[in-house]
Structure 1
């Protein structure tokens, strides 16, 4: 099975990885994540997270240490088995798959597969049937993503000079639902895609109302307001938070253009989002400022190298040495991508 999964992941990494067909209209581009669904404690027994699970035999390959971003995922993802030892499909499981497979951008596929096998084996230690079911579901999930990527590449454009082509979008959604039906059992599809499908249906209706030339502006606003009420509470709350953050962003942008101090920016954020969020955003500001300063220093050093008239190979080596010295991990990839523009 591992060779089959490795082949699928190799192809998967070259295809369009989509999390949904539809692009929300400007101002409504909320990234809706399928939050874990509460399980009935009398029906299911939750398996402990990796950090608390008993030790189990890991894959025989010598694997590098798990990257921090994947280790962090394991701290809030919990897999579930029922009283008969069967795997219970949950949004957590899809989140685990997605987070690990996204690491293919930066790590070899054998490492990613090894880490994923390690996570499944440890979380499901003592539940061999559930572990085999998880491996099988992973296999089918990758095949589904491959098929979805091919469908996206071969579909007609959904955005034209006149706007969205709703017929194309509806057809794509029908095809995507058919793919899910072919690859997953109903309980699996519901756990993996329920909120995504709700959001997609909402977006299609939103676009349909917005582009209806027979409705007045007031009628459209009323219809869209009524449509919002059909969304699950968790999605409405997420949309409200996203809108609130967008408003604060514009407010802070205006304050800075007017020369506001860091304290004034903090106060504006705290009034709208609370002290914790304001403190986190202030720290993010510092990180971004530090990153910008480091890029500027790199750009200046690169310019000095280019002005020395060295042979092309020597220039490339000198620039690579600076990147190796001053940046680490994924930072190097980011700098290498930005280097031509700096």
Structure 2
């Protein structure tokens, strides 16, 4: 079983959602490309994963999760280093309890699980599960401890079922999207929603996925409207506005802010391309974000310029070291010393990442 994909949620429409979030049409220039899903009626029927089918397969996924926990109990991770991708990072999410010691079910729990599960490939699933299990056991007292472990087992069951769904439906390529795939997207999304409810309680599903599911439903409806040839452009715009109300309020606010910033960024780029003066740039920023916002953006410009200057100086000196003929054994400490002269400890982690990208 390819567990690398198993760790990542199969967000059936997520890639399209990201595309649409910026107003794009994933089918606009790829209509001639082959669809990633076989659209023959026989194959579509064979792929169909109804709620009953999901329930029928739930037992197998639960057994896999139970075996993972049993295997994890045999692994001692107390003295082992974190995977390299997690070193220097802050743990995302966590656990909270109420006044009676019960676990508060919230999305922070899911983020905590996913933080560790993202390291599949560096560690085995059993080792990852052991890390989460140990964290729960050391951080929480009863009854919260047992409640968190039960949610972990249910989440592992769901992730296993999600992998099986991916095998059932195959890979999805948003760049080959066409209108004919909307029914299949609907089917896939329903299957994923059903799998969640087959393996986790309603309260956990609500806490973990309420916002995500609202966005997925919105995206699917938006695709349906966009590709409805029976609607005029005005009718589509009206329906799009109505669909916005499907989104949580804070998501609508984020979208509005993103649209405002995109509009501002395009206008600022136009002004700079036309050699606008600093006063003209400030005026645009003040109109969009107020005087305080304009001042913060100016300060950010200065900070970025100073960073760029330090980074360029570092890279020039690093290049000289690399050309100096030093052995690999001597070069590493010299570069580390160079980084320490130019950057803070926090900045060094960023510089190392930039160096890895530049060297790849």
Quote the Cα distance in structure 1 between the aligned partners of 2:12 and 2:259.
Answer: 22
TM-score by length of 1: 0.66
Deviates more, 1:183-192 or 1:13-22: 13-22
For structure 2, the 5+ residue unaligned runs are 24-75, 340-346
Q: Distance in 2 between matches of 1:69 and 1:277?
A: 30
Partner of 2:335: 322
CA RMSD of aligned residues (A): 4.3
2:162 corresponds, among 143, 148, 173, to 148
Greater helix proportion: 2
Map 1:1-342 onto structure 2 (within 5 A). 15=6, 17-18=8-9, 20-22=11-13, 23-24=16-17, 26=19, 28-29=21-22, 61=78, 70=90, 79-81=96-98, 83=100, 85-99=101-115, 101-102=117-118, 104=119, 114=131, 117-118=134-135, 121-122=138-139, 124=140, 127-145=141-159, 147-148=161-162, 151-152=165-166, 155-159=170-174, 161=176, 163=178, 165-260=181-276, 264-274=280-290, 278=294, 281-282=297-298, 284-286=300-302, 288-297=304-313, 299-301=315-317, 303-304=319-320, 314=327, 318=331, 321-322=334-335, 325-326=338-339, 328-340=348-360
Task: Figure out how many residues of one structure are paired with residues of the other and give that number.
Answer: 292
Structure (1 or 2) with the larger CA radius of gyration: 2
- In the TM superposition, residue 89 of structure 1 has moved relative to its aligned partner by 1.5
Distance 1:87 1:179, change over 3 A: same
Contact conserved, 2:95 with 2:104, CA < 8 A, in 1?
A: no
Unaligned runs of 5+ in 1: 1-7, 31-58
Q: What TM-score does the superposition give when structure 2 sets the normalisation length? A: 0.63
Cα distance in 1 between the residues matched to 2:338 and 2:196? 47
The answer to whether the Cα contact below 8 Å between 1:158 and 1:166 also exists between their aligned partners in 2 is no
Cα distance, 1:184 vs. partner? 0.7
Cα shift at 1:220? 0.9
Query: Cα 1:300–1:221, aligned 2, differ >3 Å: closer, same or farther?
Result: same
| Structure possessing the higher relative contact order (Cα contacts under 8 Å, 6 or more residues apart) | 2
Assess if the C-alpha contact under 8 Å between 1:157 and 1:168 holds in 2.
no
